[in-house]
Structure 1
């Protein structure tokens, strides 16, 4: 089995991991020898996926109809989870406090809540003041929509202080990590309630012979769920940790940091200072890189325009090419002043390729175009390639006439 969440550290947990990128998987599949068993397993995985999709509907019906505290519900969930390939092991049952109404856990997969349901029945509190489709689907509980945060917090506090209430489950990381490097900085939402916290850590084990990541940096919850059903088995190891009491006069940020370190220690990971916004920055960079790589033709067209008009910034050229998809049209737009931009400095290598003056450029154009005409034939129309070349040379000349003087200064 491959383990997610068991990389030990010896330099202390209250230190920041090297890079935020290390907290998330970049690709779903690994490009190594393990792709061969994946190809062999693929037909079996598809069959399991289809069967488990139907069975998962029964799982959610059971989770919706039966009360949270029902023992029958927990047994039914365990049986359904077994069919779905979810196996749950528990450690630290003796540390569970039934009077603690707030459960806090790290987040390593889209099925964490389902695994925890078989051990600690709880409502998932994704956001205190907003009921979303996702939170409803995962047995979320709302305490007011479009209300002031202070009023919602008061109702949550009253609920959690009521004896016998079903616990609220929080994932304060606010997103899924790969569980191999560290734990994201906790948000303070659950720690503003001011009640004891039941910390829980979760690790997931996957078959090592299948190179399938549980989640990627930009994957959707639906994609993670379907890949989870495709996998032969997922083993969740849940560790219940001692209850942490809030300290009188302490701020929520300190309470959150203390809980983060406790959970990080239990899975031998680092308590990092990275947050959800760091993941969003990574996603922006990834999508920008993918858009460039996915259109090599666009990159080539940008290079063509840049050779003709070296003073024009690349981003200006690329933006217009994405709209026109034509080198000639973009050059024409730039030369005619349709596109506004600030000219950039031209490298010496590019300067050496430019003609010394517009007059020489015109003479050179005429000479080249004239040499293209066969002597015996009285007249031959220019080919498309020749007309395109002449157009580019003319655009170069017109651009130099318009901007050359200012660049010389």
Structure 2
């Protein structure tokens, strides 16, 4: 791995110089693609004839820091810089600088002007706004990329690499580049999907949700409602938890030890934190066994993620029954978990979701599953 890293660093400099010297053309993309294979970057595309030459906006899921460079090896496209100061680093990484540092509305206006010129290459946008490993689910798509034009083409991107994960949260692009040179190879699989037009009077938010669902089905993952801000907040909590000092029990004040419940005496601080988080999930989903909640929290370390896993049916369990003599229910699915966990009054935001009571109001009974899930999420976050 170290020998490959050193060798590929020198070859990578030549690849960068060649890509800067040659103009954007089919010949340049072919040469750079062959040289990238020496660096261990192999790019495959399924049925390139599906790529619509008339589409001006490509929408792709975000897996690594170099997704835009990989797709640029297949077709000419530009990705605007969203985070980070413009300059040489931004240009060398292949981002397009628009000189817009204001709000997303100003960025959308600039991109509309850019797309109006037919001579400009198409736009390649990543509505997730944050990279994920691409194995569990898609982050919620932002709506601003779907406000530019009324027709977009989704691009499904999958990345495979031996031994080492393709994406690590909070890692810099330099670290990802060095790991790419270190491993024997990294395979990028690009699948072009049919173009998706906007429906009549369809809002940008609904358009984004529809494209997200199509991409999730193509990739075989879950379409989540977690945003890039949720991911950032989750990483902050993980860093804060890892930096917390674990004081020995003897150093704790006597009054604090007296206030601690007897059931938690002698328990590690991590177990106490998991227990507290499990109680929060139990308040929202009282039909879920506490031990199942604790096991999933030990893996996710996040209340919202555990609730989503239980509602979506990714964690099988037998719902607890409060009535004696009832038959043991079948293992829960996403529909059974959601239906048994959110029956009752959820129309009032401040009310606690009931589980064993059928709603009396016709409005409550006709709430969709997504609305009930959203009500549970809002209650859990409070």
Q: Classify the TM-score, shorter chain.
A: 0.5 to 0.7
- Corresponding residue for 2:254? 310
1:364 is matched with none
Confirm or deny: 8 A CA contact 1:129 1:145 kept in the other structure: no
Matched, 1:242 2:194: yes
Of 32, 48, 65, the residue aligned with 2:4 is 48
1:265-284 equivalences under 5 Å are 265-284=217-236
1:57 aligned to 13, 19, 29, which one?
Answer: 13
* Conserved 8 A contact 1:85-1:233: yes
Aligned length: 265
How far is 1:129 from its partner?
Answer: 11
The residue number in structure 2 matching 1:223 is 175
Match for residue 125 of structure 1 among 63, 66, 80: 80
Q: How far did 1:146 drift? A: 3.4
Secondary structure of the residue aligned to 1:172 is coil
Listed as ranges, the matches of 1:72-111 within 5 Å are 72-111=27-66
1:204–1:237 contact (8 Å) kept in structure 2: yes
Instruction: Provide closer, same or farther for how the CA distance between residues 132 and 106 of structure 1 changes in structure 2, counting only shifts above 3 A.
Output: farther
Are the counterparts in 2 of residues 161 and 195 from structure 1 also a CA contact under 8 Å? no
Superposed CA deviations along residues 356-396 of structure 1, whole A, max 9, x for unmatched, are xxxxxxxxxxxxxxxxxxxxxxxxxxxxxxxxxxxxxxxxx
Q: Which has the higher contact order (CA 8 A, sep 6+)?
A: 1
SS in 1 for 2:113: helix
Q: Deviations over 1:157-193 (max 9, x none)?
A: 1221221311111111111111111111111221111
For the residue of structure 1 that corresponds to 2:254, the secondary structure is: coil
Identify if the C-alpha distance between structure 1 residues 148 and 269 changes in structure 2 by more than 3 Å, giving closer, same or farther: closer
Relative distance call for 1:152 and 1:204 in structure 2 (3 A) is closer
**Aligned mates of 1:196, 1:130 — CA distance in 2:** 30
| Partner Cα distance (1:98, 1:348) in 2 | 68
Structure 1 residue 127, shift from structure 2 partner: 2.1
Cα shift readout 1:93-148 (whole Å, capped 9, x = no counterpart) = 11112222211111112232222121122112242997476643322113233356
CA–CA distance in structure 2, aligned partners of residues 129 and 233 of structure 1: 29
Within 5 A, what are the aligned runs for 1:9-408?
Answer: 45-68=1-24, 70-127=25-82, 131=86, 135-147=90-102, 149-207=104-162, 210=163, 212-292=164-244, 298-300=245-247, 303-306=249-252, 309-311=253-255, 345=259
Query: Does the 8 Å contact 2:160/2:166 carry over to 1?
Result: no
Q: CA RMSD in A?
A: 2.8
Larger radius of gyration: 1
Alpha-carbon deviation of 1:150? 3.9
Secondary structure, aligned partner of 1:104: strand
- Secondary structure, in 3 states, of the residue corresponding to 1:197? strand
Q: 1:92 to 1:263 in 2, by over 3 A?
A: farther
Contact 1:129–1:143 under 8 Å retained in 2? no
User: What are the ranges of 5 or more consecutive residues in structure 2 without an aligned counterpart?
Assistant: 264-382
Provide Cα deviations, 1:248-298, integer angstroms capped at 9, x if missing partner: 421111111111112112111121111112211221222123224xxxxx5
Contact 1:113 1:138 in 2 (8 A): no
Distance 1:151 1:224, change over 3 A: closer
TM-score by length of 2: 0.63
- CA distance in 1: counterparts of 2:193 and 2:33, whole angstroms: 22
Structure 1 residue runs of 5 or longer lacking an equivalent are: 1-44, 293-297, 314-343, 350-409
1:298-323 residue CA offsets vs partner (Å, 9 max, x unmatched): 534x54431xx32369xxxxxxxxxx
